[in-house]
Amino acid sequence: MTDNLTKTPAATKPAGLLWTIVAGSAAAAASTFLAWTWTTLFPGNLTVYGYPAPLQMLTLVGAVLTGALALSALGIKGLGWLTPTGARRPLWIMALGTFATTLFTALSIIVELGALVDLEPGAGIAVLAAAVPAVAAYKLPDDTRKAAPAKQLSSWAEILIIVAVFALGLYAVTFGIDTDDSEPQLFIAYLILVGFTATALVKSGLSARLTQITARNRQVTVTASLFAAIAFPFIQQSGDTYTLIAVNILIFATVALGLNIVVGLAGLLDLGYVAFLGVGAYTAALVSGATSSAFDVQFPFWAAALTGMAASLVFGVVIGAPTLRLRGDYLAIVTLGFGEIFRIAMGNLDGTSGPQITNGPNGIPNIPQLEFFGYNFGESHTVLGVELGAYANYYLLMILVMALVIIVFARAGNSRIGRAWVAIREDETAATAMGINGFRVKLVAFALGAALAGLAGTVQAHVNTTVVPENYVFAGPVPPNSAFLLAAVILGGMGTISGPIVGSALLFLIPAKLQFLQDYQLLGFGIALIVLMRVRPEGLIANKRAQLEFHENDDQPDVPDQRRPAPAAADATTDAGAAKAGA
């Protein structure tokens, strides 16, 4: 009896199933070195023996990760850290992701080439081998547990872990962006594997451990993230081809962070936020020396950026002053109306319906490229032996802009006024009763969010070299627009810094890579929002307060509910009350 109680969790697991998972994962990994089809007509050339193609590489990575989790569950020395909260759930999710990725590739070959005989034996082996771990992992008993306290590592070991994590993250992001647009199968398979892998890391408790390490080494984490972001254009295999996507993602994410102040911190539903981006872009276009500008001036970029921020801030105050006394749906409708008014007004300032300022629907083209101290952003430059194109120059500029916006967001969120925003968001009546001037606090949030969006708009005008009213609508096929920005904040996680960045990256990258689904992207986003509200209402990267609120009655071993007293304390309080009543 004593022996059974002292057995470790790994010893009580069915070792046969775990070794079956290891064997199936090894077979799936080995199958990636075989040919999966006989013809090169299928994108990616899966006909080569001994060298995995990119699609096969995804199966290889998934199989290796599945095997590693299974070995961790078996108690193999040195791998126990992979599953601190239990192995069954992450193992099954990872195995299912590997099988889904492999099956998708095989089905794509059949659909693309038109017949089952177009599959080579390697594809069949891969599908069957990947199915074995998925079935075996499903039959494992549930071993979910609360993670034991992590062993304290030396500072240099934690720094190496942070560097390795960011290096792997940079490689994964670069792999996804660099996928050929003519091969949507590769990007879809990439999304499948990344989604399942991220979920498995969360369920295993490993992501929580990494979060603890990064929290203890905040300066190292910030430095590593900055270096990883700067390194992106230097490791592009296709030159400047896909850097434009990265630039637009940064612009989209910067504007989403500004909206996060309004929606995530202050709790104000703004459906016309993209108008502030348009104000900054139009202002920069008018004062940057464009040939079609109504003003014969050419400000240096720093002056144009400050002018765009100031114009957006003033526009935010003008909109916010009469409307922020409204709440909820009424505020959303009014801001939506103001956003449409801005777009229509820009289209009417054409010299016919109104003054000749913006050229109406034709917009302001031929916006000149930026130039700092003789460094022209529109030309290619060789830096550290690597030729950087025009979009790489703007990418590095947007890294600086985003860093500035992140600093402003973090400082404002942790300040006195940031706490006032949160109080207003939670209960405006209670906050007002505590002495907070709700109108003034909300107006500051509105103005600050507008200024940050205007700053991003000044860069967007020079990247696109033209500004037209159709770019600033509530909902449209091309982000950023108000609907996409709001979706990015909600999907990523309101009130966080990394949440809107991740949400913006997904919402911009997926339509850019899967253009054949352009007519259905709004439907897809609607389905994604419904699914997310069901399985993770706090967003992909959750704010701790929101996570506690949404999962108040759930079993969350990794997120202790600090709002409730411990059972012993609660009993003591009850006993004290009963004693007092008895006395």
User: How far apart (Å, rounded) are the C-alpha atoms in residues 490 and 494?
Assistant: 6
Q: How confident is residue 5, by pLDDT bands cut at 50, 70 and 90?
A: very low
| Residue 481 and residue 488 in contact, taking contact as beta carbons nearer than 8 Å | no
Distances (CA, A) of 408 to 124, 452, 497: 54, 9, 11
Contact status, residue 69 vs residue 91, Cβ threshold 8 Å: yes
Cα angle: 149, vertex 155, 158; to 5 degrees: 65
- Are the beta carbons of 480 and 254 closer than 8 angstroms? no
304-315 in b/e form (b: 16+ CB < 10 A) is bbbbbbebbbeb
The C-alpha atoms of residue 97 and residue 91 are separated, in whole angstroms, by 10
Separation of alpha carbons 285 and 263, rounded Å: 28
Instruction: Give the CA-trace dihedral at 529, 534, 539, 544, to 10 degrees.
Output: 160
Six-digit token string for 200 = 């498995």
Reported as half-sphere exposure (CB side, CA atoms, 13 A), residue 526 has a value of 5
Looking at residue 579, what is its pLDDT? 36
Task: Tell me how crowded residue 547 is: count the other CB atoms within 10 A of its CB.
Answer: 20
Predicted confidence at residue 583, as pLDDT, reads: 35
Q: Are residues 390 and 379 in contact, defined by beta-carbon separation less than 8 angstroms?
A: yes
pLDDT at 238: 63
**Residue 133: enclosing H or E segment and its boundaries?**
helix 121-138
Spell out the residues 6+ positions from residue 562 whose beta carbon is closer than 8 angstroms to its own.
548
Sequence-distant (6+) residues with CB within 8 A of 246 are 177, 232, 233, 391, 395
What's the token pair of residue 251? 């612009």
Does the pLDDT at position 383 exceed 90? Answer: no
> Quick one: 398 exposed, middle or buried, by C-beta within 10 A (0-12, 13-18, 19+)?
buried
pLDDT one-digit tens code per residue, 539-554? 788 777 666 666 655 5
pTM for the model = 0.81
User: Which has more confidence, 79 or 278?
Assistant: 278
Task: Find which of 54-68, 331-345, 563-577 is predicted with most confidence, using mean pLDDT.
Answer: 54-68
Q: Percentage of the chain with pLDDT > 90?
A: 19
What local confidence, expressed as pLDDT, does residue 571 receive?
A: 40
- Alpha carbons 186 and 354: distance in angstroms, whole number: 50
Q: At what angle do helices 155-177 and 218-231 cross, to 10 degrees?
A: 30
The pLDDT of residue 559 is above 60: no
| Range list of β-strands (E), 201-336 | none
Which residue is associated with the tokens 């240099």? 156
- The tens digit of pLDDT for each residue in 10-46 reads 444 588 899 999 999 999 999 999 999 988 888 888 8
Containing 381, the helix (H) or strand (E) segment is strand 381-383
DSSP collapsed to 3 states, 520-550? HHHHHHHHHHHHHHHHCCCCCCCCHHHHHHH
Residue 338 contacts residue 319 (beta carbons within 8 Å) = yes
Give the least confident one: 153-167, 208-222, 379-393: 379-393
Angle of helix 498-513 relative to helix 184-204, nearest 10 degrees?
Answer: 150
State the Cα–Cα distance between residues 371 and 118, nearest whole angstrom.
54
Q: What single-letter DSSP state applies at residue 149?
A: P
How much is the mean pLDDT over the chain?
82
pLDDT of residue 290: 80
pLDDT at 431 exceeding the cut of 70:
yes
Residue 215 parent element (H or E): helix 206-216
User: What band does 478 get if pLDDT is binned at 50, 70 and 90?
Assistant: low
Residue 348 CB burial class (10 angstroms; 0-12, 13-18, ≥19)? middle
Instruction: Report the alpha-carbon distance of residue 326 to residue 138 in Å, rounded.
Output: 51
Q: Which of 98, 168, 167, 108 is nearest to 132 (CA)?
A: 98
What would the mean pLDDT of 503-527 be, rounded to a whole number? 80
Query: Could you tell me the end-to-end alpha-carbon distance of the chain, in angstroms, rounded to an integer?
Result: 48
Q: What percent of the chain has pLDDT over 70?
A: 90
* Helices and strands in the chain, H and E counts: 23, 4
pLDDT in tens, 183-224: 788 899 999 999 999 999 988 888 888 888 888 888 888 888
DSSP string, 358-372: S-GGG-B--PPPPEE
Mean pLDDT of 514-524: 75
Q: Looking at this protein, which amino acid is placed at residue 230?
A: I
Question: How far apart are alpha carbons 456 and 209 in whole angstroms?
Answer: 34
